[in-house]
C-alpha cells in the first residue's frame, strides 16, 4: 500500500540546503570575482559607446531620425553626467574603438569562464566540457548578449523620448513601452534560463530551469529597482571622485551575480531535495551532530513517505533469500526479522530495528539475496531502488562510511558463523 502525505516543509528544506551549500561553496567570493570581470568587460564597452556616439553625432547633422535617437540617448541615459563623471571619454578614435572591441571580446571570455567556474561548483560533475566549445563560446556569448540587451534598451529609451515630446501620442507610447519592457524582461529570463539549463554539465530538467530563471529575473528587477532608489551615482562620485563610479558598478554587479548564483544553488538543492532529506533521515541516529535548526527543518518526513513509503502487514516476506532483486530498504516503523535457510529450517539471524538501512548488500556486491526479511508486525519501510542508493552514496560521504561499516560488520559475522560450523 502506497502512503500519501505531502510535506509542508519541502520548500523550507530546499531553502535551508541551498543556503548551507551557498555558504560552504564560497559563492560570495565567486560573485566578487565575476563582478570584477564584468567591470573589465564594461570598460571597453563604454569606449565603444563613446565612438558610436561620435559617429551618430556626425550622422545626426543630416538625419532627423538620428537626431531624435541621439537626443533620446543623452536624455534617458544621462550621458552628459556619465561623461562628466569620467565613465565615457569625450573623444575616441577609430583605432580606440577597434581596440575596445577586441578587449571586449577577450574580457568576455574571462567573464563567461568565471560564471562557468562558479556553475561547476554549484553543479558538481566529473564530465569534462568539449574543448572547442569551452574556448569559442565565451568569445561570442557576451557580445551577442550585450547586443540583444542593447537593442531592447535602445528601443525603450527611444519610445520614452518620443512619448515625452508627444511625437507618437502618450497612449500609444505607453503601450509600446510596456510591451518593450516585457520584451526586455523576456530577454533577461531567456538568458538566465539558458545559463541555468545549459551551463551545468548534467542539465537539470528544462521546466525546473525555467521556473528558477523566472525567480532570478524577478529578483534582479527588484534588486535594480531598490538599488536605484537607495544608491545614487552622484553620492559615490562626491565621496570618491572618479573612483566612485567604479565602486558603484562593482557593488551593483556583485549583488546581481550574488542573486544569480544563489538561485542556481537553489535549483541544485531542488533537484537533490529527496536525496538530502533521505540522507538526514538515515543519519539521524548515527551521532553525526546535526544542529537543532537542521533537525527541525528535516523533522517532517511526509514527502519521503509519500514518494518512497510502503506499509506491509505482519508475515509479509520483504526480501526472499536467493532472489536477484537489488532494492534497499529503510525500516521507518515496526519490527522485522532476518532469517536464513538451514538444513534444520529457517534460522533467525537477528531483529531489524527502526531506523536501520538493510538490503543494500545485494546491490553493492552484485549478488543474490543472502537472507530473507519477514515483517513481525505491521511495518513501514522506504523502498530505495539502486539508482537512489547510488546517488545517495555519491552525495553523502558520512552515509557511505556508515553503509560500508555496516557491510563490513555483516561480512565479519558471516565469516565467524562459517568458522563456527563443524
Please tell me the pTM assigned to this model.
0.75
| Structure-model confidence comparison of residues 344 and 12, the more confident one | 12
| Structure-model confidence comparison of residues 208 and 135, the more confident one | 208
Specify the residue for cell string 505531502.
6
Asked if pLDDT for residue 245 goes beyond 50, the answer is yes
Residue 289: the pLDDT is: 57
pLDDT digits 0-9 by tens, 133-145: 555 655 555 566 6
Write out the three cell numbers for 222. Answer: 527588484
CA distances from 148 to 22, 175, 225, 236 (A): 30, 21, 21, 29
Asked if pLDDT for residue 77 goes beyond 60, the answer is no
Residue 336: the pLDDT is: 92
154, 160, 164, 165 alpha-carbon torsion, rounded to 10°: 40
Residue 22 has a CB neighbour count (10 Å cut-off) of 20
Q: What is the CATH number of domain 309-420?
A: 2.60.120.10
Specify the residue for cell string 523566472.
214
- List, in order, residues 6 or more apart from 208 with CB less than 8 Å away: 267, 270, 271
* Residue 125 binned pLDDT confidence (cut-offs 50, 70, 90): confident
pLDDT > 70: what percent of the chain? 61
Residue 5: the pLDDT is: 41
Mean pLDDT over all residues of the chain?
A: 76
Asked if pLDDT for residue 257 goes beyond 90, the answer is yes
Domains of the chain: which residue ranges?
Answer: 10-120+127-271, 309-420
Q: Which helix (H) or strand (E) holds 350?
A: strand 345-352
* Residue 73 binned pLDDT confidence (cut-offs 50, 70, 90): low
Mean of the pLDDT values across residues 197-226?
90
The three-state secondary structure class of 344 is coil
Mean of the pLDDT values across residues 402-422?
68
Mean of the pLDDT values across residues 167-183?
68
Residue 160: the pLDDT is: 64
- Angle subtended at Cα 388 by Cα 384 and Cα 392, rounded to the nearest 5 degrees: 115
Residue 127: DSSP 8-state: P
| Structure-model confidence comparison of residues 79 and 14, the more confident one | 14
* Residue 6 binned pLDDT confidence (cut-offs 50, 70, 90): very low
- Between 173-187, 237-251, 367-381, the lowest mean confidence (pLDDT) is in 237-251
Q: From CA 8, how far away is CA 303, in angstroms rounded?
A: 8
Cβ(351)–Cβ(278) under 8 Å?
no
Residue 95: the pLDDT is: 45
Helices (H), 272-378: 273-282, 292-297, 302-308, 361-365
Residue 215: the pLDDT is: 95
Q: Which of 80-94, 132-146, 313-327 has the highest mean pLDDT?
A: 313-327
Amino acid at each position: 500500500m502506497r502512503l500519501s502525505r505531502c510535506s509542508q516543509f519541502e520548500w523550507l528544506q530546499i531553502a535551508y540546503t541551498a543556503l548551507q551549500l551557498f555558504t560552504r561553496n564560497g559563492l560570495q567570493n565567486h560573485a566578487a570575482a565575476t563582478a570584477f570581470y564584468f567591470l573589465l568587460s564594461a570598460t571597453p564597452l563604454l569606449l565603444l559607446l563613446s565612438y558610436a556616439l561620435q559617429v551618430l553625432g556626425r550622422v545626426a547633422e543630416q538625419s532627423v531620425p538620428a537626431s531624435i535617437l541621439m537626443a533620446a540617448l543623452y536624455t534617458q541615459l544621462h550621458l552628459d553626467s556619465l561623461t562628466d563623471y569620467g565613465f565615457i571619454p569625450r573623444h575616441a578614435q577609430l583605432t580606440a574603438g577597434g581596440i575596445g572591441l577586441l578587449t571586449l571580446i577577450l574580457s568576455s571570455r574571462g567573464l563567461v569562464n568565471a560564471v562557468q567556474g562558479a556553475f561547476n561548483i554549484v553543479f558538481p560533475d566529473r564530465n569534462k566540457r568539449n574543448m572547442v566549445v569551452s574556448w569559442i563560446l565565451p568569445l561570442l556569448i557576451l557580445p551577442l548578449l550585450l547586443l540583444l540587451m542593447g537593442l531592447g534598451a535602445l528601443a525603450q529609451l527611444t519610445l520614452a523620448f518620443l512619448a515625452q515630446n508627444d511625437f507618437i501620442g502618450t497612449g500609444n507610447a505607453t503601450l509600446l513601452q510596456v510591451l518593450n519592457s516585457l520584451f526586455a524582461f523576456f530577454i533577461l529570463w531567456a538568458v538566465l534560463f539558458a545559463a541555468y539549463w545549459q551551463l551545468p554539465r548534467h542539465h537539470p530538467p528544462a521546466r525546473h530551469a525555467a521556473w528558477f530563471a523566472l525567480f532570478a529575473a524577478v529578483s534582479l528587477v527588484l534588486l535594480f529597482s531598490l538599488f536605484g532608489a537607495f544608491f545614487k551615482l552622484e553620492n559615490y562620485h562626491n565621496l570618491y571622485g572618479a573612483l566612485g563610479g567604479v565602486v558603484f558598478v562593482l557593488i551593483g554587479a556583485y549583488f546581481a551575480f550574488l542573486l544569480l548564483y544563489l538561485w542556481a544553488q537553489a535549483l541544485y538543492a531542488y533537484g537533490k531535495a529527496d536525496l538530502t532529506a533521505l540522507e538526514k533521515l538515515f543519519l539521524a541516529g548515527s551521532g553525526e551532530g546535526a544542529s537543532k535548526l537542521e533537525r527541525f527543518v528535516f523533522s517532517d518526513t511526509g514527502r519521503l513517505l509519500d514518494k518512497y513509503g510502503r506499509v506491509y502487514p505482519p508475515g509479509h516476506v520483504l526480501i526472499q533469500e536467493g532472489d536477484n532483486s537489488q532494492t534497499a530498504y529503510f525500516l521507518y516503523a515496526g519490527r522485522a526479522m532476518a532469517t536464513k535457510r538451514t538444513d534444520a529450517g529457517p534460522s533467525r539471524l537477528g531483529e531489524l530495528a527502526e531506523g536501520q538501512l538493510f538490503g543494500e548488500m545485494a546491490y553493492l556486491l552484485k549478488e543474490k539475496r543472502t537472507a530473507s526479511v519477514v515483517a513481525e508486525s505491521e511495518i513501514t519501510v522506504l523502498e530505495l531502488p539502486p539508482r537512489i542508493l547510488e546517488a545517495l552514496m555519491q552525495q553523502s560521504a558520512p552515509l557511505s562510511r556508515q553503509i560500508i561499516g555496516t557491510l563490513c560488520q555483516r561480512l565479519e559475522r558471516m565469516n565467524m558463523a562459517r568458522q563456527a560450523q563443524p
